[in-house]
A and B are shown apart, each in its own frame.
Chain A
Amino acid sequence: MTNLLGRMLELRWVVLPPIVGVAMMAMIIGALVAAPREIIEGEVQRLMYIHVPSAIATYMAFFITFVASIMVLWKRDMRWDPIARGSAQVGVLFCGLVLLTGAIWGKPIWGVFWTWDARLTTTLILFLIYTAYLLARAVSDSMDEQAARYAAVIGVIGFLDVPLIQMSVRWWRTLHPQPIIFTSKPALPDEMLIVLLLGFAGILSLVLWLISLSAETERMHQRLAGLRAGVDRREGA
């Protein structure tokens, strides 16, 4: 069972890159060429095909960090630490992308780059929490198991803080466009919906691939530090 799972995980290096390539190309062509021009918002609306999937991808990445952090604390297994760090890195990257595309869209549509709307504020706070997580992990030794556990504590608290953040900022007026595709009857025209779904496929597979890459990098980094420490010890002896 574990063996089968391991072999399936190995396949990610073979399977993910072509999927990412094709889906991203399809999304770009779809968003720029195929999708119709929005009547009221104009060309800037095309940002939605990146913005919405990136937001979902951010939550997915932070959820992976949360689960991996729990495993670090619970199973005391350092193999989960690179996964937690890797997906936090990718999550912060896409969270920044969400904030950036939102600001570019907000200027022509709302008249301002930024507003203290509940959803925007929550996203910003998430960005700050996970930046702090990365900072805490970056200033400590990557081999240090105790530091990994402390960072995992932040990974857990940060995710569990989300409902409270949402509860506290929802009291403010909400400007953000309400979700229109997760309702039972999508209000989006078919062509746009197809491009958006392509966007989801592209961004989510890209995020999975990036998380795999950065977790693998972190893992190798950890191994290298371990080998170095071993060499130092041998030379010292």
Chain B
Amino acid sequence: MRLAWVVMEKDLRLAWRHRTGWLSALAFAAISVLIYSFAFDLAARDVRPLLPGVLWTTFLFAGVFAAGTSFQHEADEGTFDAVLMSPVAPTAVFLGKAASNLIALLVVECSVLLLATILFDTTLVTPELLAIVLIGTIGYVSLTTLLSIMGSRVRSRAALLPVLSMPLLIPLLIGAVRATGAALGIEAGTAPWMMLLSVFALWSTLISALLFPIAVER
């Protein structure tokens, strides 16, 4: 656990030093919210029915976009083997990576929530909504982190990662959009959707933490 913390610290420090990656994810998220506003003409109508979908497509695409770079540094420098050879369990490496991705993504997502609050005049920074965003992000960050190691092996990874991860994430998207809708008061009852989200988060974290060591083992 302590080793996972070390890996996370290292990755966060790297992410902070190479800010371009995360800033471009943030810029991408902000731009896509604006694009949705123009495309659906969100200024002129009641935005609340559309808002959950707008938010979660933005989160997912920004998340996949950001996860694509999570092993890029290792792949470019050829240091992934060194990381695996160090006396750190692969599970700890994975958990550290996923945690640093999670923290960085939560920052991006909270910024988007703030931006949307200002743009659409709807209170979006509520404890309930933050809980949904947290659980949903845990659910997808572990899978996208796991899948992004494929990127270190194949060409054309930019296109590959969304194509690989999006179909797997559809249950999460459905659950997250519905739960957000319920939190915004569009439909009744968050309970079943929160359950679906939690089950998905648990499932994806467990399976990714299990499969990662087997997949990278040499």
A residues sitting closer than 8 Å to B (CB atoms) are 73-74, 125, 128-129, 132-133, 135-136, 139-140, 144, 146-147, 149-154, 156-158, 160-161, 164-165, 167-169, 171
Q: How far is the CA of A135 from the CA of B199 in the complex (A)?
A: 28
B22 CB-CB contact with A under 8 Å = no
User: Within residues 167 to 204 of chain B, which ones have a CB less than 8 A from any CB in chain A?
Assistant: 167-168, 170-171, 174-175, 192, 196, 199-200, 203
B142-170 CB mask vs A (1 if < 8 Å, else 0) is 01001101100111100010011011101
- CB-based A-B contact count at 8 angstroms: 80
Listed stretches B42-50, B123-131, B207-215; interface member? B207-215
Q: How far is the CA of A132 from the CA of B163 in the complex (A)?
A: 6
B residues sitting closer than 8 Å to A (CB atoms) are 143, 146-147, 149-150, 153-156, 160, 163-164, 166-168, 170-171, 174-175, 192, 196, 199-200, 203, 207, 211, 214-215, 218
Nearest CB in chain A to that of B155: its residue: A139
Give the Cβ gap from B97 to chain A, nearest Cβ, in Å: 15
Top-10 shortest CB links A-B: A168-B171, A128-B167, A164-B171, A129-B167, A150-B150, A140-B154, A168-B174, A132-B164, A139-B154, A153-B215
Nearest CB in chain B to that of A126: its residue: B167
* Structural contact, B170 and A157, CB atoms closer than 8 A: no
Nearest CB in chain A to that of B214: its residue: A73
22 A/B residue pairs, CB under 8 Å, sorted by A? A128-B166, A132-B163, A132-B167, A135-B160, A135-B164, A139-B160, A144-B153, A146-B153, A149-B215, A151-B150, A152-B215, A153-B214, A154-B147, A154-B150, A157-B207, A160-B203, A160-B207, A161-B168, A164-B171, A167-B196, A169-B171, A171-B174
